[in-house]
């Protein structure tokens, strides 16, 4: 809300208060100051100075050295660059300490070895509209030494954010009341002659639920014309555009008192005014020329002809308003219930200064007085005669009740930082009165105060948290399962960073097209994707069922930035339905990895090598420490080389390469390997060992064997045969060489030679050579039988 | 024989001196001291020396062996020293390092972890809840009226199921209170969603950290002490902290918290970092209704809650001017956090 400081000052004495003090007052009242715009000159230290002498600066061609009279005992020497003045002229002089717009503070300086004790100013330098080049020449008769701000109009516009619970602040009177409370200064009285009200002759309320009180008063013989300067200035000071004297008065009263008013051209009303719900499908043409189709929940001001004159509390109609030819008006002031106005405003997307206030709740007790102030001003500015009494239909609703303040609970919550008497004094200042039964009567403009805690809030707000002590203590609580998961995740994150991967954060809403890149543990079925109803764009339309699409998009963006090595990971939630939508919105957490480009940084000692799938396997192995990881190939649509990642026969996740076609489509020049792992399962594998194993006391021995087998035979088969044999003396078997020769010269092109090293050991004694040979022979026989391999 | 020994010694010493490497030095040793070395053979011949001369020849023989051995050792040390020096000669320690990949944690992880570590020191445990929420946990139980603007389809993502993407992590407060009883002392980091167009200061998916402390005597001094301590641990022990009264439907009284920070090259200014307040009794009433008990009796139980934007904290901490950098994952940005 925009507030003019000059306007505010008509309600309370603000003299001697700096903008900074007022800013702090609002801020600590819970009213956020979003902007301060000063018009005119703000500083008192910019004064009228007469130029008494001008000489050329000894060290600078473009500067002059002046002696000026600022009404002080001695002349002031000021270095100046302007040329548009003569001795005897009067100009603004910013004295040391003056703050110019933009926050620059004038000091005493030395310019090219000549002292300068202030600054002679141009119009734009002191916050006035820019005029001619050079210094601002002031009228000859200006009093020397007088603050220049007194010669010009000045005001400060405060842009304030009022929280939704405080509609009482949505006017200058309301803001002034709040400041007066905080400053403990009296509020200046309002000069409104309250007119008598009488039962309405020309109003019929058919929707008392939405409009408990409706008043109107007829003013005849008005002259619609331009408003006087003071009124236009008031409205312009808060950014409103003056229209004509009648409309301007209604706007002025709204911003003065917070009560929206509406003036109808009486000639356009057929018979009585009727406050009624709209008919279903009824159309309304608003004064901003927008057309709306209404529902029975919307409230209309209508007449005997049935035509809608205004959308109650929101906006007037295009034809029923005041125009230059209007002579008689009917001035509306009413109380509409907040919920109804809120719904209508939302449904029609129409909002106005009126609806803004009605939907937050106006003061029911202010309905009549606002009307009276408007009548007073209209008669003054537009002439005419008003009816003797204001017509009123319905009754002002009771929006407040008396509230109990629980002293003990107050003391507990405030930590004993405020005495009850001081707390009660705050309530009294806020306009509450203590009743005989000890409860508090709340003024009608504070409908937000309904409960004990609401009173406490007011006390805490006015008392200030600065006056509440700080207590440093708290109860002990056990760690949760979420704590354990978090710790495991941080271990994984640090390991991955140590392995040279960068952690990413991608957006959890992805596009339909990106769903093709998903790599969830359980393949997606139709109906598994969760779609938001009103996406901001098609790029962010579905909840990600997998993190891989986000990483692929991030990697593609990095490729466009010429990144050579792409090593990324991300951990977080994924979302899906399951079983074709049978199980709704399941959330789980996964870890995704992406690897592409250079396998290692290149340099004087390192040759370029492109990362391959074994590099990603290396990262997975390092991540899981000593755990045995197996990879079981399994087709995944949209990917190649896909495998399940297994530990102890449990599927942890999936590993794959994008199809070469998709890689080309995204401008990758190197293969892109991705993996996605179930974090829930991964975390469990991170639980450390329960006991250490004894170190071997006896030496072991190893035997190497190279076998020739078909190129297509997977290594997993060799491992499976060795595992199945379960030779007790065999402690490990590792593949240390794979040899192929596509030319077929050293080994048939469709064959490969795979070399293994087998380690044998018996924990209780040293093995005899024959025992090792026997065990090794069993292993070789099993492989020969199982794979038909030849040993080389 | 004496002459013979002297001749062998002279020749051996000459050979040792002439040896250019350890191999020729070893040849020289074998030629003199080996099984068939010249001096070894002379030593074998000592048995033929007349008895009265044996002592003298023996002495001479020992002296020769000692001298040759010493020369061999000395020469070997000298040769190794030369070889060692040669081996190191080509090494240029100023050449750049052989490189390893250096990874990094995302700035959001770093700031979140820092916040969590501080709050855990203060005895808070972690909690979480679903991101696809229902209106009860996101709004109703948090005392948010049905026609509150935040519930608008323009501001919140809804699904056909009627569920929505949580607009704040405050829903975790409700989830926690439904399943635990006081005292509760939790923090909940997590994502939240609002239908904001993505620009330099807005993301439609952002990250918050929620805190909740419920007990029998939790008061404004606890709220103030806890958050002042937290923010001073995060931003520095001398950091000024202020609490501005504000309004949230689910806390009363409510405050926004500013810290006075100096952005490089600017005067210190107040920057809003968090919102907080005492849990509104209406929230406890909603919880009791949902739990079908009176575990959160508003006559006996009080508590405070707070929430802050982690993306914003990261932006403040590292002077990140465009929030989109946090989701674009440009390696040049991420590498700065290595």
In a domain, A402, yes or no: no
CATH code of the domain in which A274 resides: 3.50.40.10
A491/A496 Cα distance (integer angstroms): 9
Same-domain pairing of A719 and A665: no
Q: Is residue A260 located within the same domain as residue A333? A: yes
Residues in chain B, pLDDT under 70 = none
ipTM of the complex: 0.89
Contact call for A533 and B103, based on CB within 8 A:
no
> What is the maximum span of chain A, computed from C-alpha positions, in angstroms?
127
The answer, for B332 touching chain A at a CB cutoff of 8 Å, is yes
User: Are residues A293 and A279 in contact, defined by beta-carbon separation less than 8 angstroms?
Assistant: no
Residues A148 and A162 in one domain: no
Which domain, by its residues, includes A757? Answer: 701-791
Same domain, yes or no: A654 and A673: yes
Compare CB distances from A605 to B98, B205, B229 and report the shortest one's residue. B98
CATH code of A72's domain: 2.40.50.140
DSSP assignment of B194-253, as one string?
--PPP-SS--SEEEEEEEEEEESS--HHHHHHHHHHHHHHHH-TT--EEEEEEEETTEEE
Q: State the pLDDT at residue A92.
A: 93
Answer yes or no: do A516 and A663 share one domain. yes
Query: Does residue A189 form part of some domain?
Result: no
Using CA coordinates, name the residue in chain B closest to A462. Answer: B245
pLDDT tens track for B132-180? 999 999 999 999 988 787 788 889 999 999 999 999 999 999 999 999 9
Min Cα distance A331 → chain B (Å) is 30
Chain A environment of B302 (Cβ under 8 Å): 412-413
- Among B131, B243, B329, the residue with its CB nearest the CB of A506 is B329
A360 assigned to some structural domain: yes
Cβ-Cβ pairs closer than 8 A, A with B, add up to: 242
**From the candidates A347, A481, A507, A584, which should be mutated to test the interface with B, based on the most B CB atoms within 10 A?**
A507
Looking at residue A431, which CATH number applies to its domain?
3.30.56.10
State the pLDDT at residue A792: 67
Considering CB atoms only, which of A477, A535, A587 is closest to B131?
A587
Å from A30 to nearest chain B CA?
Answer: 4
What are the Cα distances from residue B250, in Å, to A426, A451, B224, B246? 24, 14, 18, 12
- B278-306: pLDDT as tens digits: 999 999 999 999 999 999 999 999 999 99
A367 and A380 belong to one structural domain: yes
Does residue A188 fall inside a structural domain? no
CA distance A744 to chain B (A): 37
Instruction: For residue range A706-736, list pLDDT tens digits in order.
Output: 999 999 999 989 999 999 999 999 999 999 9
Chain A contact present for B31, CB below 8 A: no
Kindly report the pTM of this predicted structure.
Answer: 0.85
Domain assignment present for residue A400? The answer is no
Structural domains in chain A (count): 6
Residue A36 belongs to a domain: yes
Q: Chain A residue closest to B146 (CA)? A: A339
B residues 228-287 lying closer than 8 A (beta carbon) to A:
228-229, 242-247, 252-256, 278, 280-281
Which residues of A are less than 8 Å from B220 in CB distance?
Answer: 413-415, 417, 460, 465, 468
Residue of B nearest to A605 (CA): B98
A22/A169 same-domain check: yes
Residue A472 to chain B, least CA–CA distance (Å): 5
B157 CB neighbours in chain A (<8 A) are 532-535
Report yes or no: B165 at the A interface, CB cutoff 8 Å: yes
In a shared domain, residues A428 and A296 = no
Q: Select from A650, A685, A720 the last residue of a domain.
A: A685
C-alpha span between A676 and A26 (Å, rounded): 52
Annotate A559-615 with three-state secondary structure: HHCCCCEEEEEEEEEEEEEECCCCEEEEEEEEEEEEEEEECCCCECCECCCECCHHH
DSSP output for B84-115: HHHHHHT--TTSPPPP----B--HHHHHHHHH
Looking at the fold, whether A219 and A355 belong to one and the same domain comes out as yes
CB contact under 8 A, A506 and B242: no
pLDDT at B134: 96
Give the integer Cα–Cα distance in Å for A654 and A660.
18
Within 13 Å and on the Cβ side, how many CA atoms surround A608? 6
Out of A471, A500, A540, closest to residue B103 by CB: A500
Residue A690 lies in a domain: no
State the virtual CA torsion across B14, B19, B24, B28 in degrees, nearest 10. Answer: 20
Q: Say if B302 is an interface residue toward chain A (CB within 8 Å).
A: yes
Is B330's Cβ below 8 Å from some Cβ in A?
Answer: yes
Q: State whether A650 and A723 are in the same domain.
A: no
Residue A692, domain member (yes or no):
no
CATH number of the domain to which A712 belongs:
3.30.70.380
A419 and A432 belong to one structural domain: yes
Mutation site, B329, B336, B338, interface A, largest A CB count within 10 A: B329
Whether residues B222 and A534 touch (CB distance < 8 A) is answered with no
Which stretches in chain A have pLDDT values below 50?
none
Q: Rounded mean pLDDT of chain B?
A: 93
* The last residue of a domain, from among A467, A501, A516: A467
Indicate whether A131 and A22 sit together in one domain: no
Answer with the one of A635, A655, A685 that is the final residue of a domain: A685
């Amino acid at each position: 809300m925009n507030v003019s400081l000059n306007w505010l000052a008509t309600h309370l004495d603000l003299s001697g208060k700096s903008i900074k003090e007022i800013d702090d007052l609002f801020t600590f009242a819970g009213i956020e100051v979003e902007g301060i715009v000063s018009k005119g000159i703000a500083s008192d230290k910019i004064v009228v100075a007469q130029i008494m002498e001008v000489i050329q600066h000894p060290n600078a061609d473009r500067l002059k050295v002046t002696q000026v009279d600022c009404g002080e005992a001695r002349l002031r020497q000021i270095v100046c660059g302007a040329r548009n003045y003569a001795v005897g002229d009067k100009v603004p002089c910013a004295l040391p300490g003056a703050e110019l717009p933009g926050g620059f503070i004038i000091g005493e300086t030395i310019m090219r070895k000549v002292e300068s004790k202030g600054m002679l100013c141009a119009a734009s330098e002191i916050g006035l509209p820019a005029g001619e080049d050079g210094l601002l020449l002031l009228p000859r008769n200006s009093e020397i030494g007088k603050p220049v701000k007194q010669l010009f109009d000045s005001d400060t516009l405060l842009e304030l954010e009022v929280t939704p619970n405080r509609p009482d602040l949505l006017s200058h009177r309301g803001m002034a009341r709040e400041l007066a409370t905080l400053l403990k200064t009296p509020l200046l009285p309002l000069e409104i002659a309250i007119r008598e009200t009488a039962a309405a002759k020309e109003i019929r309320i058919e929707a008392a639920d939405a409009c408990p009180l409706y008043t109107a008063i007829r003013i005849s013989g008005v002259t619609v014309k331009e408003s006087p300067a003071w009124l236009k200035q008031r409205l312009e000071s808060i950014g409103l555009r003056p229209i004509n004297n009648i409309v301007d008065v209604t706007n002025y009263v709204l911003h003065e008192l917070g009560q929206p008013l509406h003036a109808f051209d009486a000639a356009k009303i057929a018979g009585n005014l009727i406050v009624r719900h709209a008919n279903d499908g009824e159309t309304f043409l608003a004064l901003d020329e927008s057309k709306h189709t209404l529902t029975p929940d919307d409230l209309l001001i209508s007449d005997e002809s049935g035509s809608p004159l205004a959308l109650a509390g929101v906006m007037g109609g295009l034809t029923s308003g005041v125009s230059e030819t209007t002579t008689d008006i009917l001035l509306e002031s009413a109380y509409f219930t907040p919920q109804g106005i809120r719904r209508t405003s939302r449904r029609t997307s129409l909002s106005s200064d009126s609806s803004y206030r009605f939907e937050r709740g106006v003061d029911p007790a202010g309905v009549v007085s606002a009307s009276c102030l408007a009548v007073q001003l209209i008669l003054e500015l537009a002439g005419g005669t008003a009816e003797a009494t204001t017509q009123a239909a319905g009754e002002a609703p009771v929006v407040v009740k008396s509230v109990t303040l629980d002293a003990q609970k107050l003391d507990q919550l405030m930590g004993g930082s405020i005495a009850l008497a001081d707390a009660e004094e705050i309530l009294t200042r806020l306009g509450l009165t203590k009743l005989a039964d000890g409860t508090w009567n709340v003024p009608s403009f504070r409908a937000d105060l309904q409960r004990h805690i609401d009173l406490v809030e007011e006390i805490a707000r006015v008392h200030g948290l600065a006056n509440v002590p700080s207590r440093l203590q708290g109860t002990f609580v056990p760690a949760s399962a979420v704590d354990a998961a978090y710790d495991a995740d941080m271990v994984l994150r640090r390991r991955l960073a140590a392995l040279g991967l960068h952690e990413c954060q991608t957006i959890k809403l992805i596009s339909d097209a990106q769903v093709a890149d998903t790599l969830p543990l359980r393949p997606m079925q139709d109906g598994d994707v969760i779609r938001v109803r009103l996406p901001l764009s098609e790029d962010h339309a579905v909840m990600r069922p997998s993190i891989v699409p986000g990483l692929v998009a991030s990697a593609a963006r990095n490729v466009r930035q010429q990144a050579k090595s792409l090593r990324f990971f991300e951990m977080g939630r994924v979302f899906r339905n399951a079983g074709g939508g049978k199980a709704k919105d399941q959330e789980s957490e996964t870890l995704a990895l992406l690897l592409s480009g250079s396998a290692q940084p290149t340099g004087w000692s390192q040759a370029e090598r492109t990362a391959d799938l074994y590099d990603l396997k290396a990262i997975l192995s390092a991540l899981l420490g000593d755990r045995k990881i197996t990879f079981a190939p399994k087709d995944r649509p949209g990917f190649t080389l896909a495998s399940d990642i297994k530990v102890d026969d449990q599927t942890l996740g999936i590993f794959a390469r994008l199809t070469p076609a998709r890689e080309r489509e995204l401008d990758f020049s190197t293969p892109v390997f991705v993996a996605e792992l179930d974090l829930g399962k991964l975390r469990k594998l991170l639980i450390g060992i329960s006991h250490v194993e004894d170190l071997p006391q006896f030496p072991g021995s190893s035997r190497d064997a190279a076998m020739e087998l078909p190129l297509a035979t997977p290594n997993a088969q060799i491992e499976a045969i060795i595992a199945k044999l379960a030779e007790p003396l065999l402690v490990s078997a590792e593949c240390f060489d794979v040899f192929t020769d596509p030319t077929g010269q050293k080994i048939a092109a469709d064959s490969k030679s795979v070399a293994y090293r087998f380690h044998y050991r018996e924990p209780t004694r040293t093995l005899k050579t024959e025992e090792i040979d026997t065990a090794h022979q069993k292993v070789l026989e099993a492989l020969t039988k199982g794979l038909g391999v030849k040993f080389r | 024989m004496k002459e013979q020994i002297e001749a062998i010694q002279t020749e051996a010493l000459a050979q040792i001196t002439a040896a250019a490497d350890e191999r020729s030095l070893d040849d020289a040793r074998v030629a003199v001291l080996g099984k068939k070395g010249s001096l070894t053979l002379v030593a074998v011949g000592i048995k033929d020396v007349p008895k009265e001369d044996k002592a003298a020849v023996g002495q001479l023989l020992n002296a020769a062996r000692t001298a040759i051995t010493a020369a061999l050792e000395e020469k070997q040390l000298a040769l190794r020293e030369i070889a060692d020096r040669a081996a190191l000669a080509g090494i240029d320690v100023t050449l750049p390092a052989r490189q390893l990949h250096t990874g990094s944690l995302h700035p959001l992880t770093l700031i979140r972890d820092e916040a969590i570590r501080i709050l855990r020191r203060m005895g808070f445990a972690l909690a979480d809840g679903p991101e696809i929420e229902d209106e009860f946990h996101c709004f109703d139980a948090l005392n948010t009226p049905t026609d509150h603007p935040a519930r608008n389809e323009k501001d919140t993502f809804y699904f056909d199921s009627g569920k929505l993407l949580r607009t704040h992590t405050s829903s975790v407060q409700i989830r926690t209170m439904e399943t635990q009883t006081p005292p509760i002392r939790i923090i909940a980091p997590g994502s939240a969603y609002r239908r904001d167009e993505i620009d330099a200061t807005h993301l439609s998916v952002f990250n918050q950290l929620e805190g909740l402390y419920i007990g029998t005597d939790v008061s404004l001094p606890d709220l103030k002490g806890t958050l002042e301590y937290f923010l001073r641990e995060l931003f520095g022990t001398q950091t000024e902290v202020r609490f501005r009264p504000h309004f949230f439907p689910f806390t009363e009284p409510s405050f926004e918290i500013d810290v006075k920070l100096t952005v490089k090259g600017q005067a210190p200014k107040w920057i809003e970092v968090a919102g907080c307040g005492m849990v509104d009794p209406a929230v406890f009433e909603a919880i009791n209704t949902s739990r079908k008990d009176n575990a959160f009796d508003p006559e006996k139980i009080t508590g405070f809650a707070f929430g802050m934007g982690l993306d914003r904290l990261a932006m403040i901490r590292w002077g990140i001017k465009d929030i989109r950098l946090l989701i674009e994952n440009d390696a040049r940005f991420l590498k700065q956090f290595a």
